[in-house]
Chain A
Amino acid sequence: MLKIDAEACIGCGLCEDACTFAAIRVEDGLAVVGDNCTLCGACVEVCEEGALSIPRQEGEAPADLSSWSGVWVYAEYRRGRLAPVALELLGAGRRLADKRSVEVAAVLLGSGLQAADEGGLEAAARELIAHGADRVYLADDSGLADFSDDAYGNILAELVRQYRPEIVLAGATAIGRSFIPRVATMLAAGLTADCTELDVRAEDGALLQTRPAFGGNIMATIVCPRTRPQMATVRPMVMKPLARDESRKGEIVRIEPAAAWLSSRTKVLESVTAALDQVNLAEADIVVAGGRGLENAEGFAMIRQLADTLGGAMAASRAAVDSGWIPYPHQVGQTGKTVAPKVYIACGISGAIQHLVGMQSAETIIAINRDPEAPIFNVATYGIVGDVFEVVPKLIEQLQRRSDS
């Protein structure tokens, strides 16, 4: 329960403003907390009188936390390719491991039969080493050709029990967010979702995991003081990979998964790649996005033309997707994709928080909107206040003229 010190509380109401859940109110000059308090601690942080606290019961002394050591990264591999987030996590993992003076290992699961022409799993393992892994645990089995929550989860959990890493990171991708929660449950470990920042706390070496919650309206920093491993899924495109270095040395440890680990209660019957979206939005350097301001599907023809001129990909706000002007795979935001391109051009998008969370880590944001008060301008590096139907065609023309000359 949230404790309110009635002596200290001056009824200023700061706590009321800080509570996302509307769980605390000032009544007759005193803060009162309701049943729907989630104990998130936001109000404790803002109370200048120190009137609020969350008493924590210290559980029994954590047994053998120090016997867990090393940073692990789950290296997602699908359709014969490493997911870019695997390399980003190695970059983040390396930095954490260096602070803790421990090793970084990657876990790579798949089947050598997938896209052997690209060098298959061996090549992927070497790629992981070149990007910072000291060790790669590699399970190559035809039973791992399709992603399975059961098989992948069994193997990862089993390896963690055996080797006891203190930290396990995975990408907050469809796959990571599907099977990592099962692994955490199997291991009775805490799991922080969709982190955008990771650090090590100086005093005790605890992993500080920071993540957006409430659709990006608040950020929370989370620790797992009593359990190991400390597990987190990490948002793609946020962490920086290390530069590729062929001279890095690392060991590949081959794992023979037991038949029981490979058994799965689900079966993939067919795996379909969305043909709609040939350009991988999440990996594009330049993204041109359109919103409700484009008025109709024809408006998006203009967006496509600008994207083509710049060699970029097309994206959209949910309002545009919901209106049927462009298919869902193009949606950016809380319920769509997260992108972090070099340049993001938002045309006729207001900049609702649910959209911003999907694109605000772009290096340069350009906003074109006729409303000077539109919130998109708060995050924009460059802005033009004007009509998209006038600005965009002129911009295309200018860019074409410049590239011709």
Chain B
Amino acid sequence: MKIVICIKQVPDAKDVRLDPQTNTLAREGVQSIMNPYDRHALEEGVRLAGEQGGTVTVLSMGPPQAQEVLREAVACGADEAVLVSDRAFAGADTWATTHTLAQAIRTIGGADLVLCGKQAIDGDTAQVGPGLAERLGFPYATCVKKVLSCTDGVMQVQRLMDDGYDTMAVQLPALLTVVKEINEPRLPSLKGKMKAKKLAIKTLSAADIDADPAQIGLPGSPTQVVRVFSPQARGERTIFQGSVDEQVAQLARELQQII
């Protein structure tokens, strides 16, 4: 089984906070990390390849420094790594991103299973998985929390819904997006780290993947960001004063009026 994991390098959101005074972002040296959901996609891919036999290729579209997350993925069990990188990809929305990733997957010989994270923590759209599946002509399941089985070219998975979950059968080749509940990702192994250090990461340009110039980067993106701003802070607020009993009494009074 040929498994491809899509991995995005994202800025680490952990230390990001809104400064309440200035209402701007307070960041302490933003670091780039592997999108947290993609770590779970990787783990599931490595697990399935071990169980079913097969190879795991990690794929990322991004600037040259996205190599770092690909190396980390190799240290955590991936066999091969491919970076699609070209200035022409900059500013891609999800439509342009899925064209690029689909072309890259075709270029490396296709896949039986593509795994993505549920969403990336920067763009936050959760649109790349389903869009990429459609570009590849694959069926898909989003927000998969458990893979139950994979036999005779059919996977059984549990997918989170707003009101519970659905158990479903999906024909391979297919694409799944995964949530964190699906597994506990392993840490890089020593052997993996050695391998990651030595591995040559295959880098593909827009021309290498035969990308359609009208479907990549900012010019190829139907959505355009016209404004970016900080969320508004709220208006008036009351912090109660006095003894705990007095404060609680005031709160109870307000609550009774609202309800």
Contact = CB atoms under 8 A, between A and B. Distances in A.
Interface of A: 1, 17-18, 20-22, 34-42, 45, 54, 56-57, 59, 78-79, 146-147, 149-150, 173-175, 177-179, 181-182, 184-186, 188-194, 208, 212-227, 264-274, 280, 282, 286, 310, 328, 335, 342-343, 352-354, 360, 363-366, 372, 375, 377-386, 390-391, 394-395, 398-399, 402
Given A39-B90, A268-B166, A386-B244, A328 B142 contact: no
Contacts, number: 298
B65 A150 contact: no
B25 A218 contact: yes
Contacts of B160: 174
Contacts of B54: none
A391 B259 contact: no
B37 to A, nearest CB: 9
B20 A353 contact: no
A281 B169 CA distance: 29
Interface stretch (B42-50, B107-115, B122-130, B185-193): B122-130
Interface string B2-42: 00000001010100111010001101011010000000000
A236 to B, nearest CB: 9
A325 B143 CA distance: 23
B198 interface: no
Given A17-B24, A188-B222, A214-B16, 7 more contacts: A56-B218, A174-B143, A182-B133, A266-B141, A266-B170, A394-B245, A395-B248
A274 B18 contact: no
Contacts of B259: 286, 310, 342-343
A40 B130 contact: no
A384 B17 contact: no
B95 A353 contact: no
B52 interface: no
B106 to A, nearest CB: 16
B77 interface: no
A17 B22 CA distance: 12
A21 B228 contact: no
Helix, strand, loop or mixed for chain B's interface?
A: mixed
Interface of B: 9, 11, 13, 16-18, 20, 24-25, 27, 29-30, 32, 62-65, 87, 90-91, 93-95, 98, 121-127, 129-131, 133-135, 139-143, 156, 160-171, 174, 180-181, 214, 218-219, 221-231, 233-234, 236-240, 244-245, 247-249, 251-252, 254-256, 258-259
Contacts of A364: 258
Contacts of B251: 366, 382, 384, 395
B90 A1 contact: yes
A190 B95 contact: yes
A188 B95 contact: yes
B133 to A, nearest CB: 7
Contact of B16 (A40, A56, A215, A384): A215
Contact of B168 (A20, A225, A267): A267
A372 to B, nearest CB: 8
A79 B16 contact: no
B152 to A, nearest CB: 14
A269 B20 contact: no
B20 A375 contact: yes
Given A266-B169, A378-B233, A185 B223 contact: no
24 contacts: A21-B30, A40-B225, A57-B218, A174-B143, A174-B162, A181-B129, A212-B231, A214-B121, A219-B231, A264-B139, A266-B170, A286-B259, A342-B259, A343-B255, A352-B17, A353-B16, A354-B13, A364-B258, A365-B234, A381-B237, A382-B237, A382-B238, A398-B252, A399-B256
B146 to A, nearest CB: 12
B16 A386 contact: no
Nearest to B31: A22
Contacts of A175: 161-162
A54 B135 CA distance: 28
B24 to A, nearest CB: 6
Given A22-B30, A78-B163, A189-B222, A268 B168 contact: yes
Given A45-B229, A395-B252, A38 B164 contact: no
B131 A181 contact: yes
Contact of A217 (B9, B16, B98, B133): B16
B54 to A, nearest CB: 21
Among B125, B140, B223, residue most surrounded by chain A Cβ atoms (within 10 Å): B223
Contact of B221 (A36, A185, A190, A343): A190
A193 to B, nearest CB: 4
A266 B11 contact: no
Contacts of B248: 384, 391, 394-395, 398
Contacts of A38: 90-91, 122
A36 B63 contact: yes
Contacts of A208: 226
A352 B233 CA distance: 14
B201 to A, nearest CB: 16
B158 to A, nearest CB: 8
Contacts of B30: 20-22
Nearest to A192: B223
Contacts of A178: 130, 142-143
List 10 A-B pairs, minimum CB-CB distance, nearest first: A190-B222, A39-B91, A35-B63, A265-B139, A193-B125, A42-B228, A181-B130, A190-B223, A398-B252, A181-B127
B220 to A, nearest CB: 9
